[in-house]
Amino acid sequence: FMESTSKLAVSRKTLHEQLADILREKILRAEILPGEKINEKEIAQRYQVSRGPVREALRQIEEEGLVTYASQKGCVVKALTYEEMSEAYLLRSTLECLAVKIFDGKMSQEGLIKLQQAIDDIEENAKKRELYEIISADERFHSTIVEESGCDRLYKMWKSLRGSNTATYYTMKSEDLMPYDVLGRNHQYILDLFRKQMDVDTIVREIDLHYSVVPQTLYQATHKGKIPPK
């Protein structure tokens, strides 16, 4: 995927973080395909950096589940397995539900506005099948819920799992399982629970369900309708 040489922009992010962002977007936009090798040397030349930051960037998106190292091929794009997706979403939903319990399900007016804006962006980009923008809006939706708790350490722990969400969306797209037509509706249901000030148990139960449906869909599609293990 070599292009003309260019320098990375001056940014608060480190070099490897900028490179990780670039590679992540290229993968999500299908500019780098599953099984395709990502060449360290070519990336370093393309962005006029040493190979150290490139390795760190690849290590970061490997932890996110977007790439893996294959024998005699090097670093290649991959998709998540059901087990990997299920584990990542279990951790993510557990932390998010803890945040809801901390603020007792009482979302601020500002938070409600942010959730609606994120949903509007999800719906708009779902119509255009713009996966990168959908993921960005989805992250804003769920991060708003976690941030409402006011717990910085909890938010940092939840944020560290961002990559698994990116990899999940990519996997669902590559498996042709992306439910573009219901993405906005699924998030709207959670927002409506906050607006109605439903009890915490109800909100938490629905967030758990929201996260569990995706890996179950992947499992059933790849295991011919079998019920996924609990």
The full DSSP string for 63-124 is HTTSEEEETTTEEEE----HHHHHHHHHHHHHHHHHHHHHTTT---HHHHHHHHHHHHHHHH
The radius of gyration of the chain from alpha carbons, rounded to an integer in Å, stands at: 19
Angle (nearest 5°) at CA 71 between 70 and 73: 70
170's enclosing H/E stretch is helix 162-174
| Bridge partner residues of 46 (DSSP) | none
Amino acid, single-letter form, for residue 90: L
Burial class (CB in 10 A: 0-12, 13-18, 19+), 71: exposed
Per-residue pLDDT at 48:
93
Per-10-residue mean pLDDT for the chain, 230 residues long? 58 85 86 86 93 93 86 83 91 97 98 98 96 94 98 94 86 89 96 98 97 91 71
Per-residue pLDDT at 10:
52
Per-residue pLDDT at 108:
97
Rounded Cα distance between 67 and 128, Å, is 26
Per-residue pLDDT at 227:
63
Rounded Cα distance between 68 and 64, Å, is 10
Going from the C-alpha of 206 to that of each of 84, 149, 186, 190, the distances in angstroms are: 22, 18, 10, 7
- The candidate with the shortest Cα–Cα distance to 155, out of 143, 138, 165, 164, is 143
Per-residue pLDDT at 190:
98
Sign of CA dihedral 125, 63, 77, 179: negative
| Bridge partner residues of 76 (DSSP) | 37, 68
Q: Which two tokens stand for residue 2?
A: 């070599």
Going from the C-alpha of 203 to that of each of 98, 149, 160, 188, 215, the distances in angstroms are: 11, 14, 23, 13, 20
Amino acid, single-letter form, for residue 113: I
Going from the C-alpha of 195 to that of each of 103, 164, 189, 219, 222, the distances in angstroms are: 14, 28, 10, 33, 37
Per-residue pLDDT at 70:
78
Per-residue pLDDT at 80:
84
